[in-house]
Amino acid sequence: MGTAVVRTDAADPRTRGYELGATSPVGRVWDTYKAIFAENGVTHLAHDVAEASFDRVQDWAPDLAEEMLGIAEGSGLLPWNIAALNARSEILAHAVTRLPGECSTAVFLPSSGAPRTIQTWDWHEALADLTVAWQLRSSSGATVKTLTECGIVGKIGVSRAGLGVHFNLLRHGSDSGDPGVPVHVLARRVLDEAVDVDSAEAIIGSAPVSSSVALTVIAFDGRRATGACFEVAPTGVSRMDANPDGFLRHTNHFIDTSLSQGRRPSPLEPDSRARLIRLAAKAPELTSEDLRARTAAMLSHTSDGAAICRHPGRPDDPSQRWRTLVTISLDLERSQLRYRDGNLCDTTADDWLEI
């Protein structure tokens, strides 16, 4: 089935949420997350974390809280179910087990012209057909296109303002404290309101979060590309600008020296570091103007030493049910989000779709 496509032009947040909830399989996503929460021993926390996180969203991004209520109405689910989907990272931050890393991002900022980007999104294989490419008109009037899970207000995306966001989850020792603004809601508000990297930084710095994320924010004004990676944790935010060569890359561990001191130890960190090293080694291809060359550079598996293109392992082991769900490239010059469902090694150059 692949990624669903939903377009809505409703300016009212409750209405656009309703339209998403009524036209995408949000109920199946909720059933899947109930199983994931149970596998990771956090079912008993889901309701309370969801409710508390929703309260923070009402204070920090009231339009997105209204949108979440609309999704609940359209899908026939309870409001706290939708709050739990949007706070899924905050709920899973309480898991004793260490979930696998997800996502490898590479961005090149040329001296002239638009950014060149690509990202794999790796997550639970049960969600492979439960993603959505959603085009909407935000409350600020901006056209936003985001690729996310059905029922979650945002993740990776691009706006008509010439701004894009890539998204990599992180894990920090300060995660799972008092529930905060979900990181997926944070990414969406950046897409809705930011017009450049500095305004994105102001939004990011204002969010009281309770889990960690790396948001790679890029902008294009028609002549010049700019960008920075923001590592966000409950204890603070670090901005990392591009290297002198214009290259930004991120996987699933902290790079900032201050924040990395508080990172949550994980046996999966070597995988994240191996992927980051592989991205650096593939810089000539990943900085290419040719999307096919950037795509080929991401074709690296466990057998190659870095699982950028991730496949599930043993089906009886919950920690090995992760795979590459979608690969995304943002075209800021045309305000287009391009994507390919499934593993890159199972698709062809003609499989790119766009919204």
- In order of their start, the domains of the chain are 4-92 (no CATH), 104-354 (3.60.60.10)
Q: How far is CA 115 from the centre of its chain?
A: 18
Q: What is the largest CA-CA distance in the chain?
A: 52
- In the block, residue with structure tokens 């028609």: 222
| Whole-prediction pTM | 0.95
Nearby residues of 186 by Cβ (< 8 Å), 6 or more positions away = 203, 204, 207, 209, 213, 215, 232
Alpha carbon 133 to chain centroid distance?
12
Task: Please state the rounded mean pLDDT for residues 264-289.
Answer: 89
Percent of the chain with pLDDT over 70: 94
Cα gap 105→101, rounded to integer Å? 12
The mean pLDDT of 89-108, rounded to a whole number, is: 84
Percentage with pLDDT > 90 across the chain: 79
What band does 144 get if pLDDT is binned at 50, 70 and 90? very high
| pLDDT value at 159 more than 70 | yes
Task: Compute how many other C-beta atoms are within 10 angstroms of the C-beta atom of residue 292.
Answer: 11
Ordered alpha helix ranges (H), the chain: 13-23, 26-39, 43-60, 62-75, 79-86, 88-92, 183-193, 197-205, 257-260, 269-281, 283-286, 291-297
Q: Is the pLDDT of residue 86 over 90?
A: yes
CA distances to 115, 119, 229, 328 from 291, in Å: 12, 12, 21, 11
CA distance 115 to 259: 27
Distance CA 51, CA 166 (A): 27
pLDDT in tens, 7-28: 999 999 999 999 999 999 999 9
